[in-house]
Structure 1
Amino acid sequence: MYILGIESSCDDTAAAVLKNDTVVANVLTSQDAVHTKFGGVVPELASRKHLESIHPVVEKALENARIKLTDVDLIAVTRGPGLLGSLLVGFSYAKALAHVTRIPLVGVDHMAGHILSIFLSANRPRFPYIALIVSGGTSAIYLAESFTSFTCLGRTRDDAAGEAFDKVAKLLGLPYPGGPHVSKKAGSGDPSAIKFPRSWLEDDSLDFSFSGLKTAVLNYVNKVKRQGQDLNLENICASFQEAVVDVLVSKTIFAARQYNTPRIVIGGGVSANGRLRESFTHRCDLEDLEFFAPDLNFCTDNGAMIGFAGRHVYEQSGKMELDLDAYSRSPLG
């Protein structure tokens, strides 16, 4: 069974071809060069770039898989959440393909794609597991009980972890996207140099809040500047990163204990962060928990995770009606 997966929820246009559960082609075009000058994603520009890229990306995926569109058995496309203008480009394109070719189509929740992205790697978990999904738009913990059953246990109340990385990077004069630049600076810094706060919220809460941490970094930077001192970017980045990682890891492990689930999976763009992976590996070893992280090329938005999730949606519920629409907020929470 060949599955064509299409993803356009934010600023990456992606398409992939899977043969059953095996990725045979994975193509992505990034818009970083377009949005860097603005320090963040501009929705209108993102949707315009998707319009330019969607057909060539899909054609390239089919070419790399050495198949034709007529060989495809199922089309899976991101239905939401995300930037609505961006979503509609990929979603409308996929519906048009399905209508013309009569290939079955399924809409896939972007969060489900990230929760299941671990199955694109060699080391795959058994169900159930706790999934931490962290990106520029999302910080959430899920209980995954099957390929189609996910329960949101906690989510960010303000800034997502990736968003906090980008905002701190902008504050420090680092390029967009900020996460990799903050992480690189942090590698040369002392994570204990600055005592940035951790927002734990209520005792039993699995929600996140990173806006206070972002403000703490701003206040620290302003204080140092008022004193006429030079900023140690490496120490600031390392201390900020450690505060984010500490909360993400601790709350995810707490969720695993609360729900008596011995397996933890991470996904989303921030799951590529080396310090986050290192901390999870260490803490899970101490807690006798299994830890799973996807291959780096499946951390960011990609069509392969949409194709994989789409196959399981199709097996459970059948094809999607073509009059359904995209959505900006996920029903998964």
Structure 2
Amino acid sequence: MPTQNTYILAIESSCDDTACAILENDRVLSNVVANQKIHEQYGGVVPELASRAHQSNIIPVVEEALKLAKIDKKQLSAIAFTKGPGLMGSLLVGTSFAKSLALSLNIPLLDVHHMHGHILAHFIDDGQEKPSYPFLALTISGGHTQIVQVNSSSNLVVLGTTQDDAVGEAFDKSGKILGLGYPAGPQIDRLAKLGNPRKFEFPVPKAPDLNYSFSGFKTAVLYFLQRETKKNEDFIKENLEDICASIQYTLIKILFKKLEKAVIQTGIKQVAIGGGVSANSGIREHLKSMESKGWKTFIPPFEYTTDNAAMIGIAGYFKYLENDFAGLDTTASPRIHM
């Protein structure tokens, strides 16, 4: 462990949020996120618009993070940034800025895997109990659905992953079919609380081992709604809450069927969730309910579920402790593996 405090400036720009955080060791001093509202009118993220917005946002966001943390740039120990996965244009903005800042300050550079950040966010000093190694992590977002065995901060093994679409996309595409705005996941979550989760039955896709598949689920929702609206054009409007509740119930069922299997296979009963979809109230409640089966569960605070730079900072801090630095020749990698 370092004998003096380590100050890390972290940058996250993998998709459509420009974020910067300042960490003092494992404690967050500031965590600033600039959201890009422009994508709402397109029903999804437009990569070119996202990268342009990052270029506009990154300097103000970094300046605000330093100001809130009451830290001068000269006090920084290292710069952490998201190397991937993500949108290439967006990643390049953060990568280029991080490399330039590290070079100008003559301090080390830390390249971080985006999904490592979502998992290691559980180790941010926020007063909550931390998981101990090894534990299982279910990472769920718009681009990822994975079951990961976390043996240490640098030893993370993917046990299962989606073979096609991620669960976040299943939420959003289902919501789009229903006529909900983007992103649809939070709206489905809200409406699901008012509906009957067993009103309509959707299939649970079959995928080998601990892997997932969601493309068939999206197709099943589409065909179901096409069939029912042919009979009654007001079907969606008259049953919206029950449809949302049934969609959410089935997606949770799909996620936990494989997660329970992973717990049995590994014998590891410490289970954490991470990623944007881990903000879903139904998923959080279901995970907590698994404590009745002897699981010990860990749920991140809401501010560390969606993309943020604090999670990149804590992952960078662990790399800093291990002297695992990146060279200036490092570059963004949109499809980087765990």
Q: Same fold (TM over 0.5)?
A: yes
TM-score (norm 1): 0.97
Q: What amino acid is the match of 1:39?
A: G
Structure 2: gaps (5+ residues): 1-5
Q: Is the 8 A contact 1:98 1:105 kept in 2?
A: yes
The answer to whether 1:275 aligns with 2:282 is: yes
Q: What amino acid is the match of 2:30?
A: A
- Deviations along 1:202-238, one digit per CA (max 9) or x if unpaired, are 3xx1111111111111111111111025221111111
Structure 1: gaps (5+ residues): none
Name the structure 1 match of 2:70: 66
Name the structure 2 match of 1:180: 186
Pairing of 1:160-239 with structure 2 (within 5 A): 160-202=166-208, 205-230=209-234, 231=236, 232-239=239-246
The answer to whether 1:28 aligns with 2:18 is: no
- Matched residue of 1:235: which SS? helix
Q: What amino acid is the match of 2:11?
A: I
C-alpha separation between the residues in 2 aligned to 1:166 and 1:16?
28
The answer to whether 1:266 aligns with 2:273 is: yes
C-alpha separation between the residues in 2 aligned to 1:256 and 1:18?
33
- Deviations along 1:7-33, one digit per CA (max 9) or x if unpaired, are 0000010010111001110000111x2
C-alpha separation between the residues in 2 aligned to 1:111 and 1:126?
18
The answer to whether 1:123 aligns with 2:129 is: yes
Name the structure 2 match of 1:133: 139
C-alpha separation between the residues in 2 aligned to 1:9 and 1:253?
30
C-alpha separation between the residues in 2 aligned to 1:212 and 1:241?
15
- Matched residue of 1:106: which SS? strand
C-alpha separation between the residues in 1 aligned to 2:115 and 2:336?
8
Name the structure 2 match of 1:76: 80
C-alpha separation between the residues in 1 aligned to 2:83 and 2:167?
23
C-alpha separation between the residues in 2 aligned to 1:242 and 1:331?
30
Percent identity at matched positions? 47
TM-score (norm 2): 0.95
- Matched residue of 1:5: which SS? strand
C-alpha separation between the residues in 2 aligned to 1:309 and 1:201?
31
Q: Is the 8 A contact 1:129 1:145 kept in 2?
A: yes
- Matched residue of 2:137: which SS? strand
CA-CA distance at 1:330 after TM superposition? 2.2
Name the structure 1 match of 2:255: 248
